[in-house]
Amino acid sequence: MSEKPKKDVLQPVDEDVRRQAKTFLRTARHGSLATLDPGTGTPMASRVSLASASDGAPVFLISQLSGHFGALEADPRASILLGEPGKGDPLAHRRITVFGRAEKVVDDRRALVRWRFLRRHPKSALYADFGDFAFWRLNVEGASFNGGFGKAYALSADDLAAPADPDLEPMEMGAVEHMNEDHLDAIGLYATDLLGKPEGAWTIACLDLEGLDLTLGDEVARLWFDPPLSSAEELRPRLVELAKRARQT
């Protein structure tokens, strides 16, 4: 008697699913980092603070005193679980596990990653430059996304990849500081009128070709550009356009 073929529980990945998964990566403030103990191979998991690199890769700051530091130096394979449980059954709430290989952020890339991380976690400035701390990024190779009951997806690295523009990164810090200093009214409109968030002292944490990360205290909101920018030159007119659209709502 032949066995019945196993039912494929995975759902097809479309643009909406990709957007949901990327939003997790862009807005997460913490996650559970899992590594492999170099001596025994035992999986170890611990909470870490998170931000994202320009291309959407999760970045985190850890000390050499942590078990994860030595584990990643010995074997860079790692995963990070993101998602907040809410009321009721914790398994009924959305979550995503991204996996890949971690690498230490050094040289000219460190300055921007440091700035992006501190925009999300300003108190980390107290120890971010200590000699025994280092920034790491997870180069994502894939993800398992659970969007609720019966909504399981396997995403590839291409599904989560973000476009890059070498001209945008050098101007990102200045653009964010300019907006936060001179255009807080527009940022507030982005949050309240375009995203439906409560009023407050919203600021821009960072930006990329696909959108803006807005913050109000510990809350993070993602405003996506539709369509994404094709170059850094489109940033200013797009921000003006969004403010005009918000005022018309």
143 lies in the same domain as 32:
yes
Per the CB < 8 A criterion, the answer to whether 28 and 82 are in contact is: yes
* 118: phi then psi, degrees, rounded to nearest 5: -70, -25
84 lies in the same domain as 153:
yes
34 lies in the same domain as 77:
yes
Q: What is the pLDDT of residues 10-49, one digit of tens each?
A: 999 999 999 999 999 999 999 999 999 999 999 999 999 9
Domain stop point among 160, 177, 192: 160
pTM of the model: 0.92
* Count of domains observed in the chain: 2
- pLDDT higher than threshold 80 for residue 78: yes
- pLDDT higher than threshold 90 for residue 202: yes
Within-domain flag for 6 = no
Reported as a pLDDT band with limits 50, 70 and 90, residue 2 is low
Mean pLDDT over all residues of the chain? 93
d(C-alpha 129, C-alpha 140), whole Å: 25
53 lies in the same domain as 88:
yes
Task: Provide the residue range defining the domain that includes 89.
Answer: 15-160
The rounded percent of the chain whose pLDDT value lies above 70 is 97
Q: What is the pLDDT of residues 93-125, one digit of tens each?
A: 789 999 999 999 998 899 999 999 999 999 999
48 lies in the same domain as 148:
yes
128 lies in the same domain as 236:
no
* Count of CA atoms in the C-beta half-sphere (13 A) of 194: 24
Burial 47-81 (b: 16+ CB within 10 A, else e): ebbbbbbbbbbbbbbbeeebebbebbeeebebbbb
120 lies in the same domain as 184:
no
What is the pLDDT at residue 86? 75
* Beta bridge pairs of residue 88: none
137 lies in the same domain as 176:
no
Within-domain flag for 202 = yes
d(C-alpha 33, C-alpha 54), whole Å: 20
